[in-house]
Amino acid sequence: MEFPLKRIEVAKGLVPWKTKVTITVNKYLIEPCLKYVLDFKKYAIMNFENKFNTKNCDKYCKVAVNYEDIKYYVEKEIINKSLLDLVMVKNREELLRL
């Protein structure tokens, strides 16, 4: 009977492996926001790609954007396509290539 109780106590200390954070910004803040996200993604890839032994950063840092909206920001030159491409990279090779 003691074994299940130990497992319950261990389970109480566990936290979710990943969580989702949603940020909504207006058109005046989209470029600075993407720059912050890019800096964060660079940090994540450079420090965790080898640790997680994967070439796809979605396993530890996934970024998603609403392409239906973003295409208008690119068309109106509110953000440039190269910034968006950098934000959406999946690994160190892609990051260094762009």
Q: Tell me what the pLDDT averaged over the chain comes to.
A: 90
Ranges of residues in the chain with a pLDDT under 70 are 1-3
* Gap between the Cα atoms of 53 and 1, Å rounded: 39
Per domain, the residue ranges of the chain are: 17-97
- The burial class, CB within 10 Å (0-12 / 13-18 / 19+), for 33 is middle
CB contact at 8 A, 35 and 85 = no
- Give the model's pLDDT for residue 2: 62
- Give the model's pLDDT for residue 5: 76
Does the predicted model carry a pTM greater than 0.85? no
